[in-house]
A and B are shown apart, each in its own frame.
Chain A
Amino acid sequence: MPNNEIRVVVTGLGVISPNAIGLPAFELALRQGKSGIRFLEELAEKNFACQIGGKPEVSDTLKEKYFSPVQVKMLRSESIIFGTLAGLEAWEHAGFKIPADKDTLPDWDTGCIMGTGQAAGEIIKRNLYLINEGNVRRLGSGAVDQGMISGVSAHLGGILGLGNQVTTNASACATGTEAILNGYERIRSGLARRMIVGSCESPDPFVWGGFDSMRVLTRKYNDQPEAGSRPMSASASGFVPGGGAGALVIESLETALERGAKIYGEILGGNINSGGQRGSGSMTAPNGEGVQRCIQGALDFCKISADEIDAISGHLTSTMADPQEITNWAKALKRKGKNFPYIHSLKSMIGHCLSAAGAIESVAALLQLEKGFFHASLNSEDIHPEIAQIVDADKIPQQLVTKTDFNIIAKSSFGFGDVNTCIIFKRWENN
């Protein structure tokens, strides 16, 4: 990378995950391999075939700590609540204070890109009933500011007084990683010095229903919730739905050094593309060539070789697409067997948090790079035979791997619409 290019580093992390609320609990959960998947009565009541999921429980105390009394009363959208809380945690983690009131000036140098997939079911449901009953006048103000997809960024931006670009991206299950790269590009182009990036999704039957109807959710583990999400396993039978949020504060290396911020990792860059829904690609399945080009493009952009990848945080959802994803990684990196990088899937603990997945998994990747560990990929003891032919079993950790000296983790996310994102994180060693 030429010296005159702006480098972008990560200085803050925040997370609301089905297995942990907040960073310290999340690190512990990763180390312990703690599952956040449980039986959800509301799915059974609504006749879902899949009755398990990953649903974070945020306490009223936490909400009251970070939201004003008015917001506590008005906020019904879990995706907005989760996304805002993750963003605020990342902001404080980065060493900044949350303004106590609105008397401060806008922070013109800082913006936010918090992505999401669908508006929260609570909002949609209320709008639907009231409007259909002819009661539109009873909707009130929350119908708009929480119904709009950019609601999460609007709420976060308002609390912090962000004065740079405040927006929301959407690219299905690639949303979170895409948000990080979008923010990265904005800083790199010199248009912002700092961005809060990430994504959120409501853990909500209204978000999950379509997937249940498509039969892509597992329906075999209602009586063993923690065994349901089994990425890379021969007995994987569909994904387990989840929700939550992840957020990162990213900034130019210059501003981070200037203010003496602790740096958790560097974003070397990445790549975003689409397989065009051609070849093996469709609305719901990736074109393998597109995935391989996405990964190779990320390596080219970052000017690193495939051999420098120490570990992969896969998309790996616990569906029949897992072997295909591994094949694509092997082809793109030209590595297999014992030479294949370490690989795991956080979805084995928290299910597939859809639009929030890429951000939560990126928070995990950065924590692990900084702290030097690599979490277990749960429920993968019976490795899928096609995967076993490509990846040596030792590279899929059944237990926590401690004392790693991983330098580079590649994080990928793939989404409906045949969209792909691959991002490259590097450990920070004061260089």
Chain B
Amino acid sequence: MEIAEITEKLRSIVRPYVDDKSLLENINGDTDLLKDLKINSAHLVDIILDAEEVFNIEIDDEAAEKMLTVKEAVRIIAERVNAKT
């Protein structure tokens, strides 16, 4: 799966957890999920669960802890998605 496609899917996964939708406009690789998108840290686990479902992958705890920026999240998801194919 292409990085662009993964990024787009991740954006729609993250979207419901962001109250101020305008924050999503300038999303890029360096965007920090907690600080820049003001996502409640308790919802990181929900985002990871949603990503597992959408991409049909498993994200272990060690990887999950690293999924704090868009870039890292996309990298971790891409690794697992592409490992399967």
- Which residues of A are in contact with B by a Cβ distance under 8 Å? 68-70, 73-74, 137-138, 140-142, 145
- Extra 4 A-B pairs, beta carbons < 8 Å, given A70-B16, A74-B43, A142-B46: A69-B19, A70-B18, A70-B19, A137-B49
Contacts of B46 in A (CB 8 A): 74, 140-142
Contacts of B40 in A (CB 8 A): 70
Name the interface size band of chain B. 10 to 19
B17 to chain A minimum Cβ distance, whole angstroms, is 5
Shortest Cβ distance from B17 into A: residue: A70
Task: Give the CA-CA distance A73 to B15 in the complex, in Å.
Answer: 11
Whether B16 pairs with A69 at a CB distance below 8 angstroms is yes
Shortest Cβ distance from A72 into B: residue: B16
Shortest Cβ distance from B46 into A: residue: A140
B16 to chain A minimum Cβ distance, whole angstroms, is 4
* B45 touches A (CB below 8 Å): yes
Contacts of A138 in B (CB 8 A): 49
Contacts of A74 in B (CB 8 A): 43, 46
Contacts of A140 in B (CB 8 A): 45-46, 49
Task: Give the CA-CA distance A73 to B18 in the complex, in Å.
Answer: 11
A142 to chain B minimum Cβ distance, whole angstroms, is 8
Partner of A141, one of B16, B19, B21, B43: B43
Task: Give the CA-CA distance A74 to B45 in the complex, in Å.
Answer: 12
A3 to chain B minimum Cβ distance, whole angstroms, is 48
Whether B49 pairs with A73 at a CB distance below 8 angstroms is no
- Which residues of B are in contact with A by a Cβ distance under 8 Å? 16-19, 21, 40, 42-43, 45-46, 49
Contacts of A73 in B (CB 8 A): 16-17
Some 26 contacts from A to B, beta carbons below 8 A apart, are: A68-B19, A69-B16, A69-B18, A69-B19, A69-B21, A70-B16, A70-B17, A70-B18, A70-B19, A70-B40, A70-B43, A73-B16, A73-B17, A74-B43, A74-B46, A137-B49, A138-B49, A140-B45, A140-B46, A140-B49, A141-B42, A141-B43, A141-B45, A141-B46, A142-B46, A145-B42
Contacts of B21 in A (CB 8 A): 69
A318 to chain B minimum Cβ distance, whole angstroms, is 42
Task: Give the CA-CA distance A137 to B19 in the complex, in Å.
Answer: 25
Shortest Cβ distance from B61 into A: residue: A137
Contacts of B42 in A (CB 8 A): 141, 145
Shortest Cβ distance from A71 into B: residue: B19
A99 to chain B minimum Cβ distance, whole angstroms, is 13
A29 to chain B minimum Cβ distance, whole angstroms, is 34
8 A-B pairs closest in CB distance: A73-B16, A141-B42, A68-B19, A140-B46, A140-B49, A70-B17, A141-B46, A70-B19
A161 to chain B minimum Cβ distance, whole angstroms, is 15
Contacts of B45 in A (CB 8 A): 140-141
B77 to chain A minimum Cβ distance, whole angstroms, is 17
B5 to chain A minimum Cβ distance, whole angstroms, is 23
B47 to chain A minimum Cβ distance, whole angstroms, is 10
Task: Give the CA-CA distance A57 to B30 in the complex, in Å.
Answer: 43
Task: Give the CA-CA distance A137 to B18 in the complex, in Å.
Answer: 23
Task: Give the CA-CA distance A145 to B18 in the complex, in Å.
Answer: 18
Task: Give the CA-CA distance A68 to B20 in the complex, in Å.
Answer: 9
Contacts of B43 in A (CB 8 A): 70, 74, 141
